[in-house]
Amino acid sequence: MYDFCNQLTQLKRHAGIAYKNEKPLADNTEHRIRLTLTSQDVKSLEKVCAQLIEGAKNENLVVKGPIRLPTKVLRITTRKTPCGEGSKTWDRFQMRIHKRLINLHTPADLLRQITSISIEPGVNVEVTQAN
């Protein structure tokens, strides 16, 4: 019976459950965070990457990146005329999507400080936690 209670206590401690006479466990563990930045404009994307990396290095965090992923080129070719009459002329449209990855090792409270920078319009930032 003692062994079962001891295992139950260890499971509760591992889950972060505090007892009456214990202090709650602090959330100072380092998380592996991946920031995925996407944009159609390369200059604004590189500017946001530089600001994020500078903020992380000011806090003495482990930073890997920016990792430049291949540019996606979305193409649409369509006829110029709506009715189908006339000479067969075509319009070719394309949209380029640039993507960068930044990996951080940081506590959760510092992540809020780093990502509180002003992000350029048109830059999408996705934050994921990898364990």
Closest CA to 15 of 23, 1, 5, 25: 25
Average pLDDT over every residue of 97-118:
84
| 108-112: average pLDDT | 76
Exposed / middle / buried, residue 48 (Cβ in 10 Å: 0-12, 13-18, 19+): buried
Count of structural domains within the chain: 1
pLDDT digits 0-9 by tens, 15-62: 554 445 555 445 567 788 899 999 999 999 999 999 988 888 888 888
Give exposure, 80-114, as e/b (b: 16+ Cβ within 10 Å).
Answer: eeeeeeeeeeeeeeeeeebbbbbebebbeebbeeb
Return the pLDDT at 55.
85
**Structural domain of 93:** 27-130
Count Cα atoms within 13 angstroms, Cβ side, for 61: 27
Confidence at residue 114, expressed as pLDDT on a 0 to 100 scale: 75
CATH of the domain at 110: 3.30.70.600
Asked, for residue 126, whether it belongs to a domain, the answer is yes
Judge whether 13 lies within some domain. Answer: no
**64 inside domain:** yes
- pTM for this model (two decimals): 0.68
User: In percent, how much of the chain has pLDDT > 90?
Assistant: 36
